[in-house]
């Protein structure tokens, strides 16, 4: 069975188009997983209150972990001493 160069070229073009469309759709629906300046404004806290990097982003501090676990809201403060 002979396959023409035109058939091979069209198959490659179709495959490339499918890959590009898939990539474009993936990029269009991707959501960044990062804190925003909105949280600092909302809480009145600097980025360093929740992040190990003072400029924000990256690893969280214990306060940042609590903030994330509480639905991105500052946990209620209690006057009770921490358990030992």
- State residue 60 phi and psi, 5-degree precision: -95, 155
Partners of 51 in beta bridges: 60
| Residue 25 CA to its chain's centroid (Å) | 17
Instruction: Say whether 51 sits in a helix, a strand or coil.
Output: strand
pLDDT for the residue 34: 55
**Residue 43 contacts residue 27 (beta carbons within 8 Å):** no
Give this prediction's pTM: 0.46
**Tens-of-pLDDT digits for all 84 residues of the chain?**
788 999 999 999 999 999 999 988 888 876 655 556 778 888 888 888 888 888 888 899 998 888 889 888 877 765 555 555
pLDDT for the residue 12: 95
Question: d(Cα 3, Cα 64) in Å, to the nearest integer?
Answer: 61
- Long-range Cβ contact pairs of 25-30 (< 8 A, separation 24 or more): none
Domain ranges of the chain: 1-30, 37-69
């Amino acid at each position: 069975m002979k396959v023409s160069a035109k058939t091979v070229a069209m198959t490659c073009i179709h495959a490339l188009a499918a890959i590009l469309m898939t990539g474009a759709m993936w990029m269009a629906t991707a959501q960044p997983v990062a804190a925003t300046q909105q949280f600092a404004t909302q809480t009145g806290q600097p980025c360093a209150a929740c992040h190990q990097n003072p400029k924000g982003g990256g690893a969280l501090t214990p306060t940042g972990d609590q903030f994330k676990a509480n639905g991105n809201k500052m946990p209620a403060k209690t006057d009770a001493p921490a358990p030992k």
